[in-house]
Amino acid sequence: MLKKPVYMDYNATTPVDLRVLQEMLPWFSENFGNAASRTHVFGWKAAEAVDIARRQIADLIGCSDKEIIFTSGATESNNLALKGVFDTHRNKGNHIITIQTEHKAVLDVCLHLENLGASVTYLKPDNNGLISAKEIEEAIRPETILVSVMYANNEIGVIQPIAEIAEVCRKNKVIFHTDATQAVGKIETNVQKEGIDLMSFTGHKIYGPKGIGVLYVKKKINLIAQIDGGKHERGLRSGTLNVPGIVGLGKACEIAQAEMTSERVRLHQLRSRLESNILDNIPDSFVHAILSPRLDHLSNICFPKIDGENFLMSLRDLAVSSGSACTSASVEPSHVLKALNIDDNSAYSSIRFSLGRFTTQEEVDFAIGYIKKCYDAILSH
C-alpha cells in the first residue's frame, strides 16, 4: 500500500540506508573508543574503522585515502576550502572566481571573504545554467588564487564541464575547488582524472548520516586550518572524530559505488516518466535547464499559470520543495532560477522534484495524478 506523504525531496536529504545504519550501530556503544587514543585497544579499533572508511571514500572519488579530510558536512568543507586558500595565498593574490548559481554555502563564504579584502567575480551562467571553461579563463587575472564551481546544481541538476574548467585552472596555476555535494555517489566523479584540487561533499545526500562530510585535499595543496585545537586530520581540522558518522559515510560510499550505474538508469526512467506526463497533462508547464546535462534523478518544473506557494502548500501528500533546503524559508525567488533569466513569477511557480533510492514507480504515478488534481483545483478557484 502506498505510504503518504510521498517523499520526493532527496536533494534536501536522504534516509539512512539500513545497511549503513547496521554498520554504524556498534560504534555508538560496543566500540565507543576515540580514534585519537593510541594507547589501548578501544582507540586502535576506532582508528582502524576510520582508516577503512577513508579507503572506501577514496575509492569512490579516485584519490588516496591520505587526501580525505573529515568535517561536519559540506558547508564546513566549503568554508575550509575557500577560507583556507584565501588565508594561505593572500600574499599571491586576492581574486576568487565563482558562479551565481552556487549554493549559499559557497556564496555566503565569498561575501565574508569580500569583507576581508577578497575580490570575487560571480560569473553568470547561460540560460541553461552552464558556464564554459572559456568564460572561466577570460575571468582569470594575475591575482586569481581560486576558482570554485559547483559540480552539479542542487536546484536544477545541471552538471558543469568540470574537467575542462579544472584544466584551465591547472594551466593558469590557479587552485580549483568544486562543491560536489549533489554529484558524489550519484554520477561518476574522479578527482584525479578530472584534475580537481579541492572537493566538498557530505554523507546525508547519499543515504549516510547527517553531521559528517569530507573535503578532498590534493597532495601539495596548502590550506590554513579554520578550527584550532589538537591538529587532527593532518592539522587541517581539529576535533574528536565522529567515528559512527565516518563509518556510515564509508559504507554509504561503498554502496553508492556498487549500485550507481543501475540506479542512474532506474532513476532516469522514473524522472522521464514524471516529466513527460506532467508536461503532457499540464499546459504551459516546462522543465528548467532541460537542454543541459542534468542529474538523472532531479527535475525542476515551472507551472506558470498558478501561484507557486499556494500550489506547494496544496501538495500535502507530496514532499517536494521550491529549491534549496537551506533557503526554503525565504520568500525571495530562487537565486539559481533568477541567474537563468527566469522572471520572478515563473521562479515562484517552480517546484523541484528529486527522486531517490527508495522512490518507486507507484509513487511516481501517484505524484503525476495528484499534481494534476491539485493544479486543476487551484485553477478552478
63, 169, 326, 374: the catalytic one is: 326
Whether 326 is a known active-site residue: answer: yes
For residue 51, count other CB atoms closer than 10 A to its CB.
14
Cα separation, 287 vs 299, in Å, equals 7
Cα separation, 1 vs 21, in Å, equals 25
Inter-CA distances, 333 with 84, 224, 307, 323, 329, Å = 31, 36, 12, 9, 11
φ and ψ at 186, to 5 degrees? -110, -35
Cα separation, 327 vs 324, in Å, equals 5
Nearest to 298 by CA among 329, 327, 268: 268
Inter-CA distances, 180 with 26, 43, 139, 152, 283, Å = 30, 32, 22, 7, 35
- What is the crossing angle of helices 74-89 and 104-115, to 10°? 30
Question: Which residues are the active-site residues?
Answer: 326
